[in-house]
Structure 1
Amino acid sequence: MNSSLRIHWPAPGPHIDFATYARAGRPRLVTTARLLCGDPREAAELVRNTLVGVCARWRRIPRDDVDFYVRRSLVREHLRRARRRKAPAQEGLGALSARQRAVLVMLHWEGLGETEVAQTLGCSAGAVRSHARRGLAVIGGDAERLRGVFAEIAETAQVADGLAPFAVQLGAIEERGRTLRRRRVGVVAAVCALLLAPAAVFATDRIVGSGAADGSAATVVGMASSPIRIVAPGERVEAMPGVQVWLTTDGRHWSTAQGPNQFQRLPGDGSENRQPGVLVQPEPVKGAYFLSGLYYGLSADPARVEVTVDGSEVTGSVLTLAGNPGWGVWYAPAPLSTAELKASYVEGGPMVTVYDAAGKVVARSGGDG
Structure 2
Amino acid sequence: MSHPSRSQQPQSPAAEAERLREAFAEVAYDVTPSVVPIAAIAREGRRRRRRRTAAVLGAACGVLLVPLAVVMLRGGVPGGQGEREQVTPPAASVSPSPSMSMPHAGKVRVVTPGERVTVSPGTKIWLTEDGKHWTEPDQPTQFRSVTDGNLDLSSPGVSLQESGREDGTVFLSGIFYGAGEPALVEIRTVAGDIDGTALTLAGEPGWGVWYAEVKVPESVRSSSDFLGGVTERVTVYDSAGGVIASQEFSS
User: What's 1:290 paired with?
Assistant: 171
User: What's 1:260 paired with?
Assistant: 140
Amino acid at match of 1:331: Y
User: What's 1:180 paired with?
Assistant: none
Among candidates 227, 236, 243, match of residue 361 of structure 1: 243
User: What's 1:330 paired with?
Assistant: 210
Q: Kindly tell me: are residues 348 and 236 of structure 1, through their superposed partners in 2, closer, same or farther at Cα, counting changes over 3 Å?
A: closer
Select the structure with the greater relative contact order (CA < 8 A; seq sep ≥ 6). Answer: 1
Higher helix share: 1
Secondary structure of the equivalent of 2:182?
A: coil
Q: Shift of residue 264 of structure 1?
A: 1.3
Contact 2:102–2:241 under 8 Å retained in 1: no
CA distance in 1: counterparts of 2:150 and 2:189, whole angstroms: 31
Check if 1:225 corresponds to 2:225.
Answer: no
Larger Rg: 2
Check if 1:304 corresponds to 2:184.
Answer: yes
1:130-179 deviation digits (Å, cap 9, x = unpaired): xxxxxxxxxxxxxxxxxxxxxxxxxxxxxxxxxxxxxxxxxxxxxxxxxx
**TM-score calculated relative to the size of structure 1:** 0.36
Q: Kindly tell me: are residues 357 and 246 of structure 1, through their superposed partners in 2, closer, same or farther at Cα, counting changes over 3 Å?
A: same
Contact 2:96–2:102 under 8 Å retained in 1: no
CA distance in 2: counterparts of 1:243 and 1:271, whole angstroms: 24
CA distance in 1: counterparts of 2:208 and 2:161, whole angstroms: 14
Check if 1:317 corresponds to 2:197.
Answer: yes
CA distance in 2: counterparts of 1:276 and 1:290, whole angstroms: 23
Identity of aligned residues (%): 36
Secondary structure of the equivalent of 1:274?
A: coil
CA distance in 2: counterparts of 1:339 and 1:255, whole angstroms: 29
Secondary structure of the equivalent of 2:248?
A: coil
Q: Shift of residue 229 of structure 1?
A: 0.7
Structure 1 unaligned blocks of 5 or more: 1-215
Number of equivalences: 152
Higher strand share: 2
Q: Kindly tell me: are residues 222 and 350 of structure 1, through their superposed partners in 2, closer, same or farther at Cα, counting changes over 3 Å?
A: closer
Q: CA RMSD in A?
A: 3.4
Q: Kindly tell me: are residues 336 and 245 of structure 1, through their superposed partners in 2, closer, same or farther at Cα, counting changes over 3 Å?
A: farther
Structure 2 unaligned blocks of 5 or more: 1-93
Alignment of 1:121-200 (within 5 A): none
Secondary structure of the equivalent of 1:365?
A: strand
Q: Shift of residue 244 of structure 1?
A: 0.5
User: What's 1:277 paired with?
Assistant: 157
